[in-house]
Amino acid sequence: MGATSTTATALVVQHGPGGGLGRWTGWLEERGLAAHVVRAHEGAALPDRLEHPALIVLGGGYLPDDDLRAPWLPATRALVRQALAERTPVFGICLGGQMLAQVAGGEVRGRHGTPEFGSTRLDLRPEAADDPLFHGLPARPRAIENHVDAITALPPGAHWLVGGEDCPYQAFRVGPSAWGVQFHPETTAGTVRRWDAVRLAGHGAPTPEVLYRRALEDEPAATVTWRTVAHRFADVVTSADRA
């Protein structure tokens, strides 16, 4: 897909120094959507109201209501709540996906189930067939995971789009235009190589080098899949912004 001129800007909430928008920055720009990143972990203030045509909430080492350690989370939840009420497009990644689930009435538990690290096989569900972002994706896409917390119940009425063997709720949609994912479509194999080996060993995971090699093998196909999703999300935003 060719690049288009930028016509809209999404508000992006970042929760940690290593949790940026990554390759999604360029992919969104290819479809006319720029990113205004608020580095909340550095003390940057979030707006009281969402005035952007889209909201993207990134990952981080917190639970969605871990307000003592991350005092910007209440403001982030308020933005998600507003976006849902006003049907503003939302994309939540890892912590962001968990926050979307919790705000919409689902459940999230800390250190629940089997931790997932590195490139992981997922399963596209039948409900994805008519989803604006996930329709027509490979039946068993690969994506990079990095989590020990998990969504344990989807919000009422949510569309369950992607499952996984160790973590069932890998992707879902709330309403017409709010998506959450447990995995990291914005992350590349090179990022995995820089992960903390001590942390991984503490969870019984392989070394960063082993995880890197596996992710590198899967990266060509995964890049096509998640670039498609990024493009489709941008198209949803820019189409609504022009309406």
CATH number of the CATH domain containing 185: 3.40.50.880
Instruction: Give the structural domain span for 233.
Output: 8-241
- pTM of this prediction? 0.95
Residue 2 covered by a domain: no
CB-based contact 8:33 (threshold 8 Å): yes
* Contacts (Cβ under 8 Å, ≥6 apart) of 13: 38, 40, 46, 55, 56, 57, 58, 72, 76, 79, 96
Residue 3 covered by a domain: no
Q: Work out the burial of residue 126: count CB atoms within 10 Å of its CB; fewer than 13 is exposed, 13-18 middle, 19 or more buried.
A: exposed
pLDDT in tens, 187-196: 999 999 999 9
Half-sphere exposure of 156 (CA within 13 A, CB side): 1
Count of domains observed in the chain? 1
Q: Based on the residue annotation, tell me whether 15 is a catalytic residue of this protein.
A: no
Q: Based on the residue annotation, tell me whether 186 is a catalytic residue of this protein.
A: yes
Residue 219 covered by a domain: yes
Among candidate residues 52, 94, 159, 231, the one labeled active-site is 94
Residue 176 covered by a domain: yes
Residues in the chain: 243
* Contacts (Cβ under 8 Å, ≥6 apart) of 114: 166, 167
pLDDT at 6: 60
Among candidate residues 15, 52, 184, 231, the one labeled active-site is 184
Residue 1 covered by a domain: no
Residue 77 covered by a domain: yes
Residue 12 covered by a domain: yes
Among candidate residues 52, 147, 186, 231, the one labeled active-site is 186
Q: Is the pLDDT of residue 29 over 90?
A: yes
Q: pLDDT category, 18, cuts 50, 70, 90?
A: confident
